[in-house]
Homo-oligomer: A and B are copies of this chain.
Amino acid sequence: MLNEVPQLAQLLKLLQQVPYLASKNIYRVANYFLTLDNHKMEQFCGALLDLKSNISKCPVCYMWCTKGKACSLCSSLKRDQSLVCVVESWHEMLMIEKTGGYKGVYHILGGLICPLEGIGPDQLTIMSLVKRVESGTVKEIILATSQTPEGEATSSYIASKLKMMPVIISCLARGIPVGSSIESMDRLTVYKALSERRPF
């Protein structure tokens, strides 16, 4: 039946390639686009095509930025350029920015070391981070990767690379999330929260 409406078949095929879109929902998303008005549709496609032509990665921190313009963080005088927070991707960076409490800059790794998926240190921006530290402008590196095996492995690898350099290496605090009960936490988190306790 779908062969008779090739436009629809093609859209469904392309939507299937979009990650994190449950296959059950593909028809519903297709429906959204089918009933979208012309103006909105052009706006959507325009935004997509705009990405390709007007966005590129900052050569220092690897955040997406407008092509031809300096990265707003790496060129900001208000940010502490000697404090670098190392994150997996730009989503985590935005999460940290939303806290409003961080005044340093970032380094986006572009993933985590994961041998099972064929991602080694060379696929990430670790060498570029090492060079950034070697240049002497960085005083402290905050390793803000996830508390997962891959995140910990990546942090350990980076720490080992920076071990001999005159830079402070820190990582995020581990403990009970704000608003959570101890009861609902796993054993390891409670253990870490206890052993890494802070003065009241």
Kindly provide the distance from the CB of A44 to the nearest chain B CB, expressed in whole angstroms: 5
Contact of A55 with B by CB under 8 A: yes
Pair B21/A29 contact, Cβ less than 8 Å: yes
A38 vs B5: C-alpha distance when bound (angstroms): 25
Copies of this chain, tallied across the complex: 2
Taking CB atoms, residues of chain B closer than 8 Å to A41 are: 48-49, 51-52
Contact of A173 with B by CB under 8 A: no
Contact of A187 with B by CB under 8 A: no
Pair A20/B10 contact, Cβ less than 8 Å: no
Pair A14/B43 contact, Cβ less than 8 Å: yes
Cβ < 8 Å to B, chain A residues 29-50: 29, 31-34, 38, 41-45, 47-50
A interface, over-half SS: helix
Taking CB atoms, residues of chain B closer than 8 Å to A4 are: 65-66, 72
Taking CB atoms, residues of chain B closer than 8 Å to A73 are: 1
Contact of A77 with B by CB under 8 A: no
Contact of A11 with B by CB under 8 A: yes
Kindly provide the distance from the CB of A123 to the nearest chain B CB, expressed in whole angstroms: 13
A5 vs B51: C-alpha distance when bound (angstroms): 10
Pair B65/A5 contact, Cβ less than 8 Å: yes
A34 vs B22: C-alpha distance when bound (angstroms): 20
A182 vs B167: C-alpha distance when bound (angstroms): 65
**Can you list 7 A-B pairs, Cβ within 8 angstroms, ordered by A?**
A1-B97, A2-B94, A4-B65, A4-B66, A11-B48, A21-B21, A41-B48
